[in-house]
Amino acid sequence: MTTVPADRKYTQDHEWILPTTGGKARIGITDFAQKQLGDVVFVEVPTVGYTLQATEALGSVESVKAVTEIYAPVDGSVIAVNELLEGEPELLNTDPYDKGWVVEVTLVDPKSLNDLLTAERYQSYLDREESD
């Protein structure tokens, strides 16, 4: 069973975003994404200060199966990267919703979060994908 926490928003590309405080948010990949990837061996992230555009790649994940891009769910500016991933990329597998976050951003428009999937809608999307 795939875990889908209710406290964040999701994309159909399997990224999550968790609003924090002061117009900021953390971004990562979902439990479904990490299961599809298999064992993660490397994570490439942008530098602090990088400007993200919604739907554009913000980095990539290399696993034993493939290399895949991580897409920005919203426009924003990177204010922090998860430095733990450099030495422990497997955190994306073991803890994708907490210690395995990828970047923290300042949102250009916090209302843009309303355009993303709720946990319930994301779970419905996964149910359809898994039944195809």
User: What pLDDT is stored for residue 121 in this prediction?
Assistant: 97
pLDDT digits 0-9 by tens, 78-129: 999 999 999 999 999 999 999 999 999 999 999 999 999 999 999 999 999 8
pTM: 0.95
In a domain, 2, yes or no: no
In a domain, 69, yes or no: yes
Burial class of residue 125 in the structure, from the number of CB atoms within 10 Å of its CB (0-12 exposed, 13-18 middle, 19+ buried): middle
User: What pLDDT is stored for residue 68 in this prediction?
Assistant: 96
Over range 13-28, report the average pLDDT: 97
In a domain, 53, yes or no: yes
In a domain, 108, yes or no: yes
In a domain, 74, yes or no: yes
Q: Structural domain tally of the chain?
A: 1
Full domain range(s) for residue 18: 9-131
Q: Which of 22, 25, 40 is nearest to 10 (CA)?
A: 25
In a domain, 4, yes or no: no
User: What pLDDT is stored for residue 83 in this prediction?
Assistant: 97
In a domain, 100, yes or no: yes
CATH number at residue 15: 2.40.50.100
Alpha-carbon span 63 to 115, nearest angstrom: 30
Q: Which band of pLDDT confidence, cut at 50, 70 and 90, is reported for residue 49?
A: very high
Mean pLDDT of the chain: 96
Calculated CA dihedral for residues 28, 34, 40, 42, nearest 10 degrees: -30
Please report the sign of the dihedral spanned by the C-alpha atoms of residue 63, residue 65, residue 67, residue 72. negative
Spatial neighbors of 31 by CB under 8 A, at least 6 apart, are 2, 3, 4, 96, 97
In a domain, 71, yes or no: yes
pLDDT at residue 132 tops 90: no
User: What pLDDT is stored for residue 1 in this prediction?
Assistant: 72
